[in-house]
Amino acid sequence: MVKIGIIGGSGVYGVFEAKETVKVHTPYGRPSAPVEIGEIEGVEVAFIPRHGKHHEFPPHEVPYRANIWALKELGVERVIGVTAVGSLREEYKPGDIVITDQFIDFTKKRDYTFYNGPKVAHVSMADPFCPEMRKIFYETAKELGFPVHERGTYVCIEGPRFSTRAESFMFRQYAHIIGMTLIPEINLARELGMCYANIATVTDYDVWAEKPVDAQEVLKVMAENNYKVQELLKKAIPRIPEERKCGCADVLKSMFV
């Protein structure tokens, strides 16, 4: 059974070749694309391109529930979410990697839960990211010499629009990075007792910085970020222990009310 799942963008494609493509039907419809199964340095992984094979799902329309359900059905226990983010702080620079450790949810209308009744559940989110995977990704990125932040609070906005300057100034008081896709991916993974880690790569300073966005520069940074993510996945994934000692699955014990 494949135990590691990756949900990410085009940057992840280069890192493994699909040996098999599985069309999964879930109670929540189809995932963003058929799940691709392949190997990274000898470790079997399942991959879903979050925005679809042809980038047809904007952040607020991604079938998050189907994606997580499909991975669970294939046996995945640990989910790695790869996301591009904007920076809300000077010291989080374009090209940096962030091993996110907290989030603030500013999304508005997504499918946040598998428990819409009659079964009801409240899942603990105090420390939602898998500590075991976070440590491995941070230490490996450091070893590779990549600019990496051990922590970062990710504010997730609804999108697809970017923030106003006033919003950006507000978010910057509380968070380090900003994106559109972490929520509800992590909520759903947790509801099924799966580990979740986020590798965020900074593409731009958000509008608080009042710097004009240079599209060429952003494209260059994204290409470099893709390379870093691929190298990081290749080196870190074989280090993830098969047996989980992180306690992420224990949230299920305290969940039903």
Residues in contact with ligand ADE by the rule CB under 6 A: 84-86, 157, 162, 178-180, 203-204, 206
Task: Please identify which of the residues 111, 127, 206, 214 carries the catalytic annotation.
Answer: 206
Q: Is 60 annotated as a binding residue?
A: no
Nearer to ligand ADE, 87 or 140 (CB): 87
Question: Which residue's CB atom is positioned nearest to ligand ADE?
Answer: 86
The C-alpha atoms of residue 4 and residue 48 are separated, in whole angstroms, by: 11
Has 204 been annotated as catalytic?
A: yes
Nearer to ligand ADE, 140 or 226 (CB): 226
Considering only CA atoms, which of 134, 143, 26, 23 is closest in space to residue 80? 134
Nearer to ligand ADE, 97 or 157 (CB): 157
Cβ at position 219, least distance to ligand ADE in Å: 13
Has 206 been annotated as catalytic?
A: yes
Beta bridge mates, 157: 106
Q: Is 113 annotated as a binding residue?
A: no
Task: Please identify which of the residues 96, 101, 105, 204 carries the catalytic annotation.
Answer: 204
Q: Is 194 annotated as a binding residue?
A: no
Cβ at position 83, least distance to ligand ADE in Å: 8
Cβ at position 161, least distance to ligand ADE in Å: 9
Nearer to ligand ADE, 12 or 248 (CB): 12
Cβ at position 55, least distance to ligand ADE in Å: 14
Which tokens hold the place of 146? 């990549």
Q: Is 196 annotated as a binding residue?
A: no
Cβ at position 175, least distance to ligand ADE in Å: 11
The C-alpha atoms of residue 12 and residue 233 are separated, in whole angstroms, by: 9
Q: Is 203 annotated as a binding residue?
A: no
Q: Is 50 annotated as a binding residue?
A: yes
Nearer to ligand ADE, 38 or 94 (CB): 94
Which residue in the block uniquely carries the two structure tokens 């996110």?
A: 100
The binding site for substrate comprises 180, 204-206
The binding site comprises 10, 50-51, 83-84, 180-181, 204-206
The catalytic residues are: 204, 206
